[in-house]
């Protein structure tokens, strides 16, 4: 009887770990995407902040585009991809305004 109890506890423990694993993975993905998007956001915000002065904004475009491209390969969540595309569109507008 005691062995059955130990086996039952082991099964319940493994099931509870299995239930938490997808949530943990999701949280890890969100954290990783947040970190990557933070770096992209910093570069994009610099471009946007300086967009009235093309002489300042133009040199910042390269770094913003580079961070966007790097992020494309690292982000996992669909919402992050959509946000990334919106950021790219903002950088594109500044690039068009400052040829």
Q: What is the pLDDT of residue 85?
A: 92
The angle at the Cα of 77, spanning 71 to 83, to the nearest 5 degrees, equals: 60
If you count DSSP H runs as helices and E runs as strands, how many of each does the chain have, helices first? 3, 0
Quickly count: other Cβ atoms within 10 Å of residue 12's Cβ: 10
Which pLDDT band, with edges at 50, 70 and 90, does 2 fall under?
very low
pTM of the model: 0.70
Which pLDDT band, with edges at 50, 70 and 90, does 23 fall under?
confident
Residue matched to tokens 């039952």: 8
Residue matched to tokens 């059955």: 4
Q: Tens digit of pLDDT for each residue in 24-55?
A: 777 777 778 788 888 899 999 999 999 999 99
């Amino acid at each position: 009887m005691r062995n059955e109890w130990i086996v039952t506890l082991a099964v319940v423990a493994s099931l509870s770990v299995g239930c938490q694993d997808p949530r943990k993975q999701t949280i890890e993905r969100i954290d990783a995407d947040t970190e990557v998007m933070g770096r992209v956001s910093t570069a994009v915000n610099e471009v946007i902040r300086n967009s009235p002065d093309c002489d300042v904004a133009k040199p910042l475009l390269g770094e913003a585009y580079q961070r966007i491209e790097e992020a494309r390969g690292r982000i996992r969540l669909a919402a992050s991809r959509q946000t990334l595309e919106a950021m790219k569109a903002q950088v594109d507008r500044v690039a068009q305004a400052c040829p």
